[in-house]
Amino acid sequence: MVSLIIAAAGLSAVLVINSSAKQSYSSEQQFLVANVTYTITSTSSKLKLSKQDYSALRVKGLNQLVAVAQTRQHVYVNNQRITQRRIDFTGIDTFSLITQPSFSTPVPLAEQKDTPANSDNETSKATDEANQLIRQLSFNEPTAILHPQLLEMLDEGISANFSQQFTTQSGKPLAEFVAFESAVLGNDIIMDIAELYRLYPSAELSMLLVVGDLTRAQEDALRQRLPDNLKLTSSNGGEQDSELTSSFHLNLMAMALLMFVVCLFIVVNAVNLLLNSRLTWLKICRQLGISRRQLFAVQLIEIVLLTLLASFIGVLLGIELAKLASPTVQATLENLYSVEVGFGEVSILGLFIQVFGICLIGSVCATFIPLNKLNHQLAQTKDVPLSLTQQRFWNGAIWLSFGLFAGTAYVILNHAQALWLLLIATALVILSGCCLLLANYPSMLAFIQRFIPDRFPLLQLSSKQSLALSGKTKIACCAFFIAATSNIGMNLMVDSFRGATAGWLEQRLAANYYVYNSGEPNIAELAKNTGVNVSQRLENYISFQGKEIQQFSYPTDESNQQAMAFYEQSENANLWQQFEQGKGVLVNQQFAFGFKYKVNDVIELPHPSTSELSSYTILGIVYDFGSPYAQVLMPFDMFELSKSKCCIFALQGTESKIDLLREKMLAQGLDPDMQLLKTEDLLALSMRAFDDTFIITDGLNVVTLLVAALSLACAIIVLMNDIRPQNMLIRSMGVSAFKTQLLALFQYLLLCFIALIFATPFGILLSWILIVDINYQAFSWTYPLIINPLKILQIYATSLLVVATVIAIPIVQAGRRPLIEDIRWVN
Amino acid sequence: MGKLIKLFTSLFTSLFTSLFTSLFSLLTVTLLVVTVFAVIVFASGGTDEASSNIKALFSNLKNTELAAGDETSQQPFGRGFSASDPQNLGQVADPNYVITFPKDHYSHDSFDIEWWYLTANLQDDEGNDYGLQWTLFRFRNPNVKLNKSQQTSLKHSIDDNSLLFEDNPKAEESDWSNEHIYMAHASVHSISKHWFSEKFARGNVGNAGVQQTPFKLFIDDWQWQSPTAGLLPSNLTFTTKLISNNASGNSANDKSVNSNTDSYLNVQLNLSNTGPFVLQGQGGYSIKSANGKHASHYYSAPFIEVEGTFTQRDSGKQIAVNGNAWFDQEWTSQLLDQATLGWDWLSLHLDNGDKIMAFQMRLQDQADYITGTYINANGSTTALMPSDIELNALELTSVGNKKLPLYWQLEVKSKGVKVSIKATKNDQWNPALIAYYEGTVAVSGTHSGKGFLELTGY
């Protein structure tokens, strides 16, 4: 029942989030603005859209444009932050919006009396209401529109003292909030653009909306008038958007299904447990003449009723869960997929029908296995072991499955490039591991038995019982194997990635200090006369094979030469000489893998200052973790300060000289505390950010282990009944209850240990696939696999500890039973 | 049969078990990959210098950084669209102020309201009449606190320092606004059609304002452009949308008209001045009420000759037009207050070359205040005080849900003028955010001619 409730709650929560995200995503970029047909954005994230771009386009006659600026900020009350995650504050140029024909069409006076005040159409009513609110934003007292649920959440941050006011971090009071129920609104607050800039002067212009339809000719004219740094995109779902949306929903649905399947997994075991405890009663019923069909029908009806109740409770819990989880889950999803997860309007009845339907199918299917087993038990008075032929058949089938899974995975991994195919191959690898484990359990156990000395008869007995157990706990053992494999695979991958990143950062951060400043003044100018040696990183954004890439300068002094971390480099001894002479370039992995280039290949690139196309040899491929951009490094001398942007400055100097620069920065209105960072601090901050990112992985590992352990625990409760005669006999021979408990624990831990041994190579293989194939395809980078035996031993210990803790509960319970009960039970 | 069922269930069980395990493993891996995607969070940005984290970090810090600003409270904008707040009144019109050109063609930023107003009575080659209006309004929100550089520039540009408002700063300018808001209206009437559009813009954005040299009034692509620092000669261009088309029996709101290729009209006019500028009232100080509380600085250019073209945007069909125009520039902080009900304004081009401006201010609990100016064809003027002029609405005409005085009688005894003035078309209402009547009139009686009638507050 609890499992079903959890399954239903989890499923409903994800469905609610999914539906909210869908509604928000489908209407993203509209911000309550109807009829947005195109958006204008900057061609590069580095070439920001500016107010000057907007006014210049309007002066050129592009009057359908509406500027949108955004910033992500916390809300404060009495200088205390009251929001868990930042809220998207969106400013719209309402002055432009209110005169758009689609917003309001002037009606001649003679016709005004005949115009219906309200439209009958629901959509049109909603639009009218939104328009009314936007009109309010433009000329009335500053107001801000937000979803009622967000307002409710914010109101919770205000205590009973109503004189308190929402403010920005610097204490500027926010405009009066107006709640508006709309699927478009999520974790955002919409206001007039001037108000946004008043509150947050650092907000950035994010896009220009094109309101209203454009004819083909108008679209062409618009494209022609756009300056080079801006691009026009149809807002009716570009290819990229739809890909992102489908990937986002696929992952959300995968998470929902995983949660559901995990819970059903427990349901299978729970029903098994339930039927097992009722077995005696059911046998009596059977002896009284009640047909098996009737017994099954009653059990099924019970399951259906339980599912109904569980679904009902689960849906209610799920909706609450979605609300509770919204700040964290939504923030994670928004960060991962850059989508706005809103407060969707969910029909409870619709959701209930959906969840009940899925739960019913799931629970009935999950009940099928235990019922089939029950059918088998009711039909026979004794367990009939499989005949030799049957055993051979099953063994053959398992080995065949192994061969099929492993072969298919090999073919896919060697030939496929699509991410989804690689994922399937990964799953096949794990499945083949399951088959291998199942096929080898008996021989492995027999092998281990050989090492148990004769003076430990109880241990020998226990290991023999493990063999019998392994046949009855296949699913639970497989679950544990999968959990262990995933654990080892993910941990090794993260460990390798961490090691590679830390090494790369330590090597590349060769200077003492770093300054990031995108605006005026130039730090190099500022550092003159301070004695600080400043090395600038000049950057251009250029087009290569139709894609935007970074063209960065790299200093060629010896310390920076030493600092370069190569993935692969030319065997040419004069690498740096050729680089300095401008004959060759260094590219990052993203460039090499993305455009399929190797070391010593020749590429054509525009010169950083003259833009003339020239040929360059790729002298080396360098690591550049974390960057989504393909990058080409060229010598500093080829760049011109007037043509390239400079944001990063590497500083070398003594503490006193750096202090001098710090003072100069302060005098120029810069904030050295934030902009000037010591290399050690930067490294520590980077690694902390890295570790924070992978907290989710640790949580996931524990969850998979717990699920596997729970499944094992359920299986143990059932099996404890099966071995009651043996236990009774052992205890009658004077073996203490404690010893029998220890022996039982030994049996299961032995099974788990063997699963762990099998999981180790498969975990390493999984890690290798993740690094070499999935990282390569998904992020265009790869790094060496580091197999740390200590890490593997740590996983062994954690896994066995988790499993031992969980399965100890039923074992201890069974051990507490007085011996006489077992004797009576057998009789 | 039983065996078959047993075989089937056994097979199903095996299938289900394997499917179950497959699903579990597949989904586990999918979730693992989701966590791998979390790397993207870690990896936002990307720089050459060893760490994309650096930029992500700095950008994060930058986002949390808030610009320093004074503690300010929020005030409604409201000005210009409703009555002035007497506590925060802008600069008051000064009877001793001497209007000089070209300086006074430019913006008078310390005053609350200002407009540059052109009305024109035009004809095409076939003798069809057209009325045209183009206006740029500037409204000032005195509650916006200026930054120091702006205060300094204003100090230099205007002698009178009373424009400074440091004592009472209530709001704060932002990068996307200053204390000024611009509004513009463009309207063209033929006998059967009405093209009308309006625009709004904020100061400090760059798409609206008044440029001094060469002189330019602009809001988006609506531009009054002079080659010199003076107001005239000039070129005026704007585009306006068809909102009413009685010729086809439809309103412009019908889809049939909206899809009509004639729905937008591009207007291009050359304006040249053939006479002097006329200072209204006493040397350009125009009193609007009996107690003198309502007054403005006001001058006109009534001798403008116009020639130009109307181009139907999509069809490309061009209509050449020419005629007379009247330009007003007026700036004040004392026109709109709680007592103001509205006003009626007339500009008339008489056939003998003389011009008349008549203005009736309607005030609550006060008698209507009528003033005007009689302008001879040679440019000499006579200010008309309330005792010199009689202006009466002869009847009210129902237009839509309003009753408007579209038929007037004007008498200036000292000039021997007694004329009837009638709107050439009833519905010349500008359905703007702030709606009013602005349309052509025909003059008959002792004199004949053409002109424009403006009615506000109805």
Query: Which residues on A lie below 8 Å from B45 (Cβ)?
Result: 626-627
CB contact under 8 A, A696 and B35: yes
β-partners of residue B242 are B195
Among the ranges given (A18-32, A482-496, B76-90), the one the predictor scored with the smallest mean pLDDT: B76-90
Structure-model confidence comparison of residues A631 and A5, the more confident one: A631
CB contact under 8 A, B218 and A59: yes
Confidence of residue B438 (pLDDT cuts 50, 70, 90): very high
Is the pLDDT reported for residue A236 higher than 90?
A: no
What's the mean pLDDT when you consider all of chain B? Answer: 76
Is the pLDDT reported for residue A246 higher than 80?
A: no
What radius of gyration, in Å, describes the C-alpha atoms of chain A?
Answer: 33
Among the ranges given (A292-306, A388-402, B59-73), the one the predictor scored with the smallest mean pLDDT: B59-73
Only one residue has tokens 């009996």, namely B290
List the single residue in B65, B177, B196 with the smallest CB-CB distance to A202: B65
Among the ranges given (A126-135, A463-472, B71-80, B386-395), the one the predictor scored with the smallest mean pLDDT: B71-80
Closest Cα of chain B to A20: distance in Å? 20
Is the pLDDT reported for residue B3 higher than 70?
A: no
Provide the pLDDT for residue B53: 34
Closest Cα of chain A to B267: distance in Å? 13
Residue of B nearest to A563 (CA): B50
List the single residue in A61, A109, A201 with the smallest CB-CB distance to B174: A201
List the single residue in A257, A335, A482 with the smallest CB-CB distance to B25: A482
Structure-model confidence comparison of residues A695 and A435, the more confident one: A435
Among the ranges given (A70-74, A374-378, B11-15, B351-355), the one the predictor scored with the smallest mean pLDDT: B11-15
Instruction: Please state the rounded mean pLDDT for residues B278-299.
Output: 90
List the single residue in B55, B66, B427 with the smallest CB-CB distance to A110: B427
Provide the pLDDT for residue B327: 96
A282: left (phi over 0), alpha (psi -120 to 50) or beta: alpha
Percent of chain B with pLDDT over 90: 50
Is the pLDDT reported for residue A432 higher than 60?
A: yes
Range ranked top by mean pLDDT from A596-610, B71-85, B170-184, B319-333: B319-333
Q: Which helix (H) or strand (E) holds A801?
A: helix A789-816
| Single-letter amino acid, residue A659 | D
Query: Which residues on A lie below 8 Å from B220 (Cβ)?
Result: 58-59, 61, 63
Structure-model confidence comparison of residues B342 and A265, the more confident one: B342
CB contact under 8 A, A627 and B31: no
Closest Cα of chain B to A500: distance in Å? 12
Query: Which residues on B lie below 8 Å from A696 (Cβ)?
Result: 35, 38
Confidence of residue B256 (pLDDT cuts 50, 70, 90): very low
Closest Cα of chain B to A431: distance in Å? 7
CB contact under 8 A, A686 and B61: no
Is the pLDDT reported for residue A488 higher than 50?
A: yes
Only one residue has tokens 């937000």, namely A146
pLDDT tens digits, B51-68: 333 333 333 322 322 222
Return the residue in B19, B35, B183 with the most chain A beta carbons within 10 A, the one to mutate for interface testing: B35
Confidence of residue B159 (pLDDT cuts 50, 70, 90): very low
Task: Report residue B285 as tokens.
Answer: 């100080």
CA distance A793 to A360: 42
What radius of gyration, in Å, describes the C-alpha atoms of chain B?
Answer: 31
CA distance A166 to A75: 6
Is the pLDDT reported for residue A334 higher than 80?
A: no
| Single-letter amino acid, residue B456 | T
Query: Which residues on A lie below 8 Å from B427 (Cβ)?
Result: 108-110
CB contact under 8 A, B36 and A369: no
Structure-model confidence comparison of residues A650 and B71, the more confident one: A650
Q: What is the 3-state secondary structure (H, E, C) of A616-653?
A: EEEEEEECCCCCCCCEEEEEHHHCCCCCCEEEEEEEEC
Query: Which residues on A lie below 8 Å from B26 (Cβ)?
Result: 423-424, 427
List the single residue in B175, B432, B433 with the smallest CB-CB distance to A201: B175
CB-based contact A357:A35 (threshold 8 Å): no
Closest Cα of chain B to A1: distance in Å? 20
Closest Cα of chain A to B25: distance in Å? 6
pLDDT tens digits, A183-195: 667 778 888 888 8
Structure-model confidence comparison of residues B134 and A219, the more confident one: B134
Task: Report residue A647 as tokens.
Answer: 């944001």
* Nearest alpha-carbon partner for A137 in A186, A83, A182, A175: A175
The DSSP secondary structure of A533-584, one letter per residue, reads EEEEEEEEEEEETTEEEEEEEE--SHHHHHH--EEEE-S-TTHHHHHHTTSE
Provide the pLDDT for residue A342: 54
CB contact under 8 A, A633 and B48: yes
Structure-model confidence comparison of residues A761 and A736, the more confident one: A761
Helices (H), A770-788: 775-779
Structure-model confidence comparison of residues A268 and B241, the more confident one: B241
Return the residue in A99, A138, A386, A770 with the most chain B beta carbons within 10 A, the one to mutate for interface testing: A99
pLDDT tens digits, B210-248: 999 899 999 999 999 999 999 999 999 999 999 888 765
Provide the pLDDT for residue A559: 82
Provide the pLDDT for residue A471: 64
CA distance A763 to A760: 5
Instruction: Give domain B45-141+179-455's CATH number out of 2.40.30.160, 1.10.357.10, 2.30.33.40, 2.40.370.10.
Output: 2.40.370.10
Provide the pLDDT for residue A154: 81
CB contact under 8 A, A700 and B31: yes
Residue of B nearest to A430 (CA): B25
Q: Who's near B254: CB < 8 A, 6+ residues apart?
A: none
Provide the pLDDT for residue A113: 57
- 3-state DSSP percent of chain B in helix, strand and coil, to 5: 20, 45, 35
Q: Who's near B241: CB < 8 A, 6+ residues apart?
A: A101, A106, B195, B196, B197, B252, B263, B264, B265
Confidence of residue B162 (pLDDT cuts 50, 70, 90): very low
Provide the pLDDT for residue B65: 29
Instruction: Please state the rounded mean pLDDT for residues A158-173.
Output: 74
CA distance B171 to B344: 34
Provide the pLDDT for residue B18: 43
Rounded to the nearest 5°, which phi and psi values hold at A400? -65, -45
CB-based contact A747:A466 (threshold 8 Å): yes
Q: Which helix (H) or strand (E) holds B250?
A: strand B250-251
Task: Report residue A304 as tokens.
Answer: 């259906």
Provide the pLDDT for residue B197: 92
Instruction: Please state the rounded mean pLDDT for residues A101-109.
Output: 70
Confidence of residue B153 (pLDDT cuts 50, 70, 90): very low
Instruction: Please state the rounded mean pLDDT for residues A705-725.
Output: 70
List the single residue in A69, A99, A504 with the smallest CB-CB distance to B200: A99
CB contact under 8 A, A770 and B36: yes
CA distance A637 to B423: 74
Q: How distant is the alpha carbon of residue B444 from its chain centre?
A: 32
Range ranked top by mean pLDDT from A211-225, A513-527, A627-641, B181-195: B181-195
Whole-prediction pTM: 0.58
Is the pLDDT reported for residue B28 higher than 60?
A: no
CB contact under 8 A, A516 and B54: yes
Structure-model confidence comparison of residues A740 and A120, the more confident one: A740
Provide the pLDDT for residue A122: 53
Provide the pLDDT for residue B142: 60
List the single residue in B65, B206, B221 with the smallest CB-CB distance to A60: B221
Q: Who's near B11: CB < 8 A, 6+ residues apart?
A: none
Instruction: Please state the rounded mean pLDDT for residues B100-127.
Output: 93
CB contact under 8 A, B175 and A51: yes
Closest Cα of chain B to A454: distance in Å? 38
Query: Which residues on B lie below 8 Å from A424 (Cβ)?
Result: 26
CB contact under 8 A, B57 and A686: yes
List the single residue in B31, B63, B251 with the smallest CB-CB distance to A254: B31
Provide the pLDDT for residue B217: 95
CB contact under 8 A, A626 and B35: no
CA distance B39 to B60: 17
Provide the pLDDT for residue B198: 92
Provide the pLDDT for residue A242: 42
Helices A239-277 and A279-287 meet at what angle, rounded to 10?
Answer: 60
Is the pLDDT reported for residue B254 higher than 50?
A: no
Provide the pLDDT for residue A173: 85
Closest Cα of chain B to A353: distance in Å? 24
Provide the pLDDT for residue A812: 74
Provide the pLDDT for residue A76: 86
Confidence of residue A327 (pLDDT cuts 50, 70, 90): low
Among the ranges given (A643-647, B155-159, B354-358), the one the predictor scored with the smallest mean pLDDT: B155-159
Range ranked top by mean pLDDT from A142-151, A589-598, B184-193: B184-193
CA distance B18 to B12: 10
Provide the pLDDT for residue B440: 95
Provide the pLDDT for residue A237: 44
Confidence of residue A466 (pLDDT cuts 50, 70, 90): low
Query: Which residues on A lie below 8 Å from B28 (Cβ)?
Result: 258, 430, 482-483, 486, 704
Return the residue in B8, B51, B254, B428 with the most chain A beta carbons within 10 A, the one to mutate for interface testing: B51
Q: How many Cβ atoms are within 10 Å of B444's Cβ, its own excluded?
A: 11
What's the mean pLDDT when you consider all of chain A? Answer: 76
CA distance A356 to B108: 70
pLDDT tens digits, A398-419: 889 889 989 998 998 888 877 7
Only one residue has tokens 């009596």, namely A284
Provide the pLDDT for residue A532: 81
Is the pLDDT reported for residue B98 higher than 90?
A: yes
Total CB pairs under 8 A between chain A and B: 346
